[in-house]
Amino acid sequence: MTQLVEALQREEAVIKEGGGAKAAARQHEKGRLTARERIARLIDADTSFFELGLWAAWGMYQDWGGAPAAGVVTGIGTVSRRRVMIIANDATVKAGAFFPMTCKKVLRAQRIAHDNRLPLIYLVDSAGVFLPLQDEVFPDEDDFGRIFRNNAVISAAGIPQFAAILGNCVAGGGYLPVLCDKLLMTEGSGLYLAGPALVKAAVGQSASHEELGGAAMHAAVSGTIDFREPNDDACLDRLRRLVGALHHDGTCLSTTVAPGRAPQDIYSLFPSGNVRQPEYDIRDLLPCFLDAGPFDEYKAEYGQTMVCGYGRLGGIAVGVVANQHQR
């Protein structure tokens, strides 16, 4: 029995390595964390991650080099004191592509989250469907397309869903994040249904990956993403704050929170001349009203006549919708 347990523990350690040390090194060379590193960075310090489905796809797909843990890490963790379900593509395993068992594992995690009303956090870094097996990924009602149906059902149930694009997000895999309530994306990531080669072949136009689906384009032109982040660490920090805002219950969390800027500064910031056409940046005024701390501006580069975002007022998480009067 002891030998069997030790053998299983060794196998478990191998599974947790995903695609192996070289694949992890390639991820780091791109300035990105691995799936398990992202989860460790996301959850609260001194808490544990309860992993689900570690042994999924064990011993399967050997003709294709295997798919440890089905190429996706799922489980329950604590983020900003809130229990959440985390679904993280493992880009060290075939660039995070979806095998048939990947779909089953994601569906199972969604079902558990729905039944227990756990907010979901998707850490997206996937090349989409594993094409050699695409005939096994799509056909059944409990396969790939069911994931997107679940996105809609979960949102309709009032269960929050957050997605962060932290690498590739290609083809069919692009539907999941845009169906979530909040979407974050890091620089250097890509969200597109067709790459430059396919666009060139289809319509004869040349376009770069950034022009087709880069973070800057989706932040300022398409308006698809809500927050553009420079790197994994900044993105995970933002996710923690957004999940923390879910704790609002109408009570004041603190009576001693100071505003981010002296309230009397509003008299110098707001012009006293032509009140019909004031010219000021509302972002300068907001700290006079809100608690000190980060203001998470929503779609900061899209729709420049409005400033929307999330902050705290007297310790309570609030949303802000403000007209922008800056020229």
At 167-225, the pLDDT tens digits run 999 877 788 999 999 999 999 998 876 666 666 667 777 778 787 789 999 999 999 99
pLDDT at 200: 67
* DSSP state at residue 242: H
Tokens of 151: 């996105």
Question: Crossing angle, helix 144-156 and helix 100-116, to 10 degrees?
Answer: 10
Distance of alpha carbon 218 from alpha carbon 226, whole angstroms: 9
pLDDT-derived band of residue 47, with 50, 70 and 90 as boundaries?
very high
CA-atom Rg of the chain in angstroms: 22
pLDDT-derived band of residue 233, with 50, 70 and 90 as boundaries?
very high
Averaged pLDDT score across all residues of the chain:
90
pLDDT tens track for 255-299: 567 898 998 888 888 766 666 666 788 999 999 999 998 999 999
pLDDT at 271: 67
Residue 79 · residue 243 · CB < 8 Å: yes
Q: Is the pLDDT of residue 157 over 80?
A: yes
Tokens of 146: 């069911």
Burial class of residue 246 in the structure, from the number of CB atoms within 10 Å of its CB (0-12 exposed, 13-18 middle, 19+ buried): middle
Distance of alpha carbon 161 from alpha carbon 44, whole angstroms: 18
Tokens of 218: 């989706």
pLDDT-derived band of residue 34, with 50, 70 and 90 as boundaries?
very high
pLDDT tens track for 73-102: 999 999 999 999 999 999 999 999 999 999
Distance of alpha carbon 323 from alpha carbon 304, whole angstroms: 9
pLDDT at 250: 46
So where are the chain's domains?
2-247, 263-323
Task: Output 37 or 2, whichever has higher pLDDT.
Answer: 37
pLDDT tens track for 102-137: 999 999 999 999 999 999 999 999 999 999 999 998
CA angle 199, 202, 208 (to 5 degrees): 15
Of the candidate CATH numbers 3.90.226.10, 3.20.20.70, 2.60.120.10, 3.40.630.10, the domain formed by 2-247 belongs to: 3.90.226.10
Residue 232 · residue 263 · CB < 8 Å: no
